């Protein structure tokens, strides 16, 4: 057998023996165990508690019951202030001097019930959102649960901003264009049922549409989308936004649709920024390099110790002498 072949066999066996010995030393050392445990606890995320299907259904039932109780309480409180809510709804028509009419004896009662239900839902929305959070929080990591208060504040704030935008500008503008401009040749007879549905469609539609950044934030938080994906498909996002604006916009002209779409485009850009902050890859990038460098350092030290041990054993057992490898060969071996 050639000398180089025999030496390669001896080197590989000695390397394996030295590696096993180093591993036994590290396994026995309590200091290294503590170091590994502390590093692992600092760099890894907490384990999520497991829940069976029955437990999920029981938790869903519990949250639905609590949400229904909060909605009922909100409805009772809002119904107590039904006259004030009716005056709030009537303001856009009063500004244009347009009276409301009814065609059925129960229209007045239905108006009060609908306004009380919507007002009660808005009043109870923080408690309902908290129940939703309690339902989804077991499936989230510990560091993700700190978003509960920003989530609730942003959700309520964006909904109220969308509702105010619709109440302050969109609803009066829509009534003016549709009733006074296009219908100036006719006598308007607005019924309670038609106006209530029209009012709620604009207010609730814009309030829900303004939740777009929250939706994008949670899609990015769970790793379903990221900022690059949203930017790369920006043109499709614009198309979807204009389709939604065309559906919820009550005005027949393109200007009204653009009036609806412009704030949604701004919210889409805001959602891209929130997705960039919330995506897991960005959070892991702060930990991954440190973890990778630590692992490479440990492996390099182990390999270096094994090579030194192999050099000593080969020097003692080789009958033809042994040429130590150059520094470049040692460096190559350490980095492979």
Does residue 319 belong to any structural domain of this protein? yes
Asked if residue 49 is part of any domain, the answer here is: no
Specify which of 5-19, 96-110, 303-317 reaches the highest per-range mean pLDDT: 96-110
**Cα–Cα distance measured from residue 49 to residue 139, given in angstroms and rounded to the nearest whole number:** 8
* Residue 137, token pair as written in the block: 């929080």
pLDDT tens digits for 134-156? 888 877 777 777 777 888 888 99
Nearest-Å Rg of the Cα atoms of the chain is: 34
d(CA 58, CA 243): 38
Q: Specify whether the CB–CB gap between 244 and 210 falls below 8 A.
A: no
Per-residue pLDDT at 2 exceeds 50:
no
Question: Is 158 within 8 Å of 213 (Cβ atoms)?
Answer: yes
The position carrying tokens 């989530």 is 151
The pLDDT assigned to 290 comes to 43
Q: Is the pLDDT of residue 189 over 60?
A: yes
Residue 81 lies in a domain: no
Indicate whether 295 pLDDT > 70. Answer: no
What pLDDT was estimated at residue 244? 86
In a domain, 234, yes or no: no
Q: At what angle do helices 82-95 and 107-136 cross, to 10 degrees?
A: 110
Top mean pLDDT of 7-16, 46-55, 132-141 is at 132-141
DSSP 3-33: HHHHHHHHHHHHHHHHHHHHHHHHHH-HHHH
**304 part of a folded domain:** yes
- Highest average pLDDT, of 22-31, 215-224, 287-296, comes from 215-224
Number of structural domains the chain divides into: 1
Whether 65 is in a domain gets the answer no
Q: Above 50 in pLDDT, residue 30?
A: no
Flag whether pLDDT at 35 surpasses 50. no
Q: Has residue 175 been placed in a domain?
A: no
pLDDT for residue 267:
92
Range of the domain at 24: 3-33+295-326
CB burial readout 65-95, b (16+ within 10 A) else e:
ebbeebbeebbeebbeeeeebbeebbebbee
Q: What is the per-residue pLDDT for 29? A: 47
Q: Look at residue 318 and tell me whether its pLDDT is greater than 80.
A: no
Nearest to 96 by CA among 195, 207, 165: 195
Give per-residue pLDDT as tens, 58-116. Answer: 999 999 999 999 999 999 999 999 999 999 999 988 888 888 999 989 999 999 999 99
Please check whether residue 317 lies inside any domain of the structure.
Answer: yes
């Amino acid at each position: 057998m050639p000398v180089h072949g025999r030496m390669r066999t001896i080197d590989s066996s000695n390397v394996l023996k030295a590696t096993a010995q180093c591993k036994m030393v590290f396994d026995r050392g309590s200091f290294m165990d503590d170091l590994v445990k502390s590093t692992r606890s600092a760099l890894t995320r907490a384990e999520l508690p497991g829940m069976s299907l029955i437990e999920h259904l029981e938790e869903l039932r519990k949250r639905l019951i609590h949400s229904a109780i909060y909605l009922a309480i909100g409805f009772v409180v809002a119904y107590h202030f039904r006259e004030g809510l009716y005056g709030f709804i009537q303001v856009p028509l009063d500004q244009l001097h347009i009276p409301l009419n009814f065609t059925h004896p129960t229209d007045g009662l239905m108006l009060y019930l609908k306004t009380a239900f919507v007002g009660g839902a808005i009043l109870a929305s923080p408690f309902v959102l908290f129940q939703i959070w309690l339902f989804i929080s077991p499936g989230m990591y510990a560091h993700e649960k700190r978003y509960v208060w920003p989530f609730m504040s942003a959700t309520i704030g964006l909904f109220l901003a969308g509702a105010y935008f619709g109440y302050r500008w969109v609803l009066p503008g829509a009534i003016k264009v549709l009733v006074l401009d296009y219908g100036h040749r006719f006598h308007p007879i607005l019924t309670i049922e038609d106006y209530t549905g029209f009012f709620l469609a604009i207010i609730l539609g814009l309030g829900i549409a303004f939740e777009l950044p929250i939706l994008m934030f949670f899609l990015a938080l769970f790793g379903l989308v990221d900022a690059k994906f949203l930017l790369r498909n920006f043109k499709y996002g614009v198309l979807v936004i204009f389709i939604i604006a065309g559906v919820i916009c009550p005005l027949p002209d393109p200007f009204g649709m653009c009036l609806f779409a412009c704030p949604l485009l701004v919210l889409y850009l805001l959602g891209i920024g929130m997705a960039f902050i919330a995506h897991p890859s960005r959070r892991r990038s702060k930990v991954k390099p440190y973890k990778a460098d630590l692992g490479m350092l440990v492996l390099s030290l182990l390999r270096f110790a094994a090579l030194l041990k192999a050099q000593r054993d080969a020097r003692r057992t080789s009958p033809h002498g042994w040429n130590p490898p150059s520094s470049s060969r040692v460096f190559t071996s350490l980095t492979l």
